[in-house]
């Protein structure tokens, strides 16, 4: 048997594809228990682990609107909800589409998200998602940072690191995050609505069909969003990489498993888990994840995540 196929098959035979759930009482793991998961590079969920957080108990559309009434937030805008995703480009090829980013007044942004979720906007209206991943909760949204925990103690103690970034995500069910991976240990906390994760371990790299995709940006021009090829900055051009503006990205989608396959795609057993308000997920560094969302009854999906960079990560 092909050794790559054997590795992937053995992984799922040994580990299954059900995500561990720590006991149901909302008890966080100890640092040592957490470190065992880090060592095994294995995700887990703590149901209701954040259920007592003020954000989980108190946030709502009216509350956020009132609290952030004076705020301006950076919003990612796409025609279809796919930001940073493989998308058919102007020439029909699959390209990597990055969102248009613009600042919006928070109350207007939130009204838009809710209206779209409730079907009060025309079909085909643009999708808006507050998804800056630049430690926004300690900066852009600092005024609500006190409503979440300032770190995840079991992770801080185990990893001996403060969170590198704490990010707030606000959107609706129209936004989907395409399957990708990050070099961060990641803890997600769901606040409102649901997030639906599809996960694959790093060894599934041969399954996901990473392709070099040309990078395009959406731009707002008058009333529509158009796509423009990303210009290389002059530095990159001088490095003489032949004008290559591609980024490697997975084009196999576990939700359309018969398209864009590699020889190994059929061996992947995607692990699926839905986070409800108050649930926590540990997503290990370098795990592939695709994330879609469902809105709360009030029409929004809100989550917070904590990133820690592990500099001396496994090199095996």
Q: Which range of residues in 7-15, 93-101, 141-149, 293-301 is near its own copies by CB under 8 A?
A: 7-15
Phi, psi of 166 (to 5 degrees): -125, 120
DSSP string, 224-235: EEEEEEPPPPHH
Among 2, 21, 36, 153, binds its own copies (CB under 8 A): 36
276 scored as a contact of its own copies (CB under 8 A): no
- Judged by CB, which is closer to its own copies: 216, or 287? 287
Which listed range, 34-42, 96-104, 117-125, 162-170, lies at the site for its own copies (CB under 8 A)? Answer: 34-42
Tell which positions 175-214 bind its own copies, by CB under 8 A.
201-203
CA 52/CA 55 separation, integer angstroms: 8
The nearest distance, CB 65 to its own copies, in angstroms, is 42
**Bridge partners, 168 (sequence order):** 304
158 is a contact residue toward its own copies (CB under 8 A): yes
Alpha-carbon distance 171 to 126, whole Å?
A: 12
- CB count within 10 Å of CB 276 equals 14
Q: Is 32 in the site for its own copies (CB under 8 A)?
A: yes
Tokens of 15: 């580990």
In the bound state with its own copies, the residue whose beta carbon lies nearer, of 42 and 80, is 42
d(CA 94, CA 239): 26
Task: Return the exposure string of 133-160: e unless at least 16 CB atoms fall within 10 Å of the residue's CB, then b.
Answer: eeebbeebbeebbebbbebbebbbebbe
Tell me the closest approach of the beta carbon of residue 8 to its own copies, in angstroms. Answer: 9
Contact status: 39 vs its own copies (CB under 8 A): yes
Q: Of 302, 254, 294, give the one whose Cα is nearest residue 274.
A: 294
Exactly one of 18, 40, 62, 212 binds its own copies (CB under 8 A); which one? 40
By CB under 8 A, residue 35 contacts its own copies: yes
Give 234 or 311: the residue with its C-beta nearer to its own copies: 311
- Residue 315 interacts with its own copies (CB under 8 A)? yes
Segment contacting its own copies (CB under 8 A): 10-18, 115-123, 167-175, 237-245? 10-18
Contacts with its own copies by CB under 8 A lie at: 7, 10-11, 14-15, 31-32, 35-36, 38-42, 157-160, 201-203, 286, 311-316
């Amino acid at each position: 048997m092909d050794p790559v196929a054997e590795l992937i098959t053995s992984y799922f035979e040994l580990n299954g594809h059900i995500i561990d759930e720590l006991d149901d009482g909302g008890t966080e793991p100890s640092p040592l228990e957490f470190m065992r998961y880090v060592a095994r590079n294995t995700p887990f969920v703590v149901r209701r682990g954040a259920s007592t957080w003020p954000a989980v108990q108190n946030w709502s559309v009216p509350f956020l609107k009132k609290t952030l009434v004076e705020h301006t937030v950076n919003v990612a805008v796409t025609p279809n909800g796919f930001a940073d995703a493989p998308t058919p480009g102007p020439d029909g090829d699959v390209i990597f589409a990055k969102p248009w980013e613009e600042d919006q007044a928070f109350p207007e942004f939130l009204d838009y998200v809710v209206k779209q979720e409730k079907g009060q906007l025309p079909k085909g209206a643009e999708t808006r998602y507050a998804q800056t991943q630049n430690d926004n909760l300690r900066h852009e949204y600092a005024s609500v940072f006190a409503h979440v925990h300032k770190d995840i103690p079991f992770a801080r103690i185990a990893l001996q690191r403060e969170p590198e970034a704490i990010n707030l995500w606000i959107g609706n069910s129209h936004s989907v995050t395409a399957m990708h991976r990050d070099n961060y240990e990641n803890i997600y906390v769901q606040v409102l609505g649901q997030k639906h994760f599809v996960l694959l371990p790093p060894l599934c790299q041969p399954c996901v069909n990473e392709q070099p995709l040309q990078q395009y940006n959406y731009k707002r021009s008058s009333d529509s969003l158009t796509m423009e090829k990303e210009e290389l900055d002059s530095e990159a051009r001088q490095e003489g990489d032949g004008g290559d503006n591609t980024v490697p990205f997975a084009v196999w989608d576990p939700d359309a498993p018969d398209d864009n396959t590699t020889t190994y795609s059929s061996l992947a057993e995607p692990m699926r888990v839905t986070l409800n308000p108050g649930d926590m997920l540990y997503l290990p560094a370098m795990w592939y994840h695709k994330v879609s969302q469902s809105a709360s009854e009030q029409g929004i999906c809100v989550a917070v995540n904590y990133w820690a960079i592990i500099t001396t990560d496994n090199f095996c």
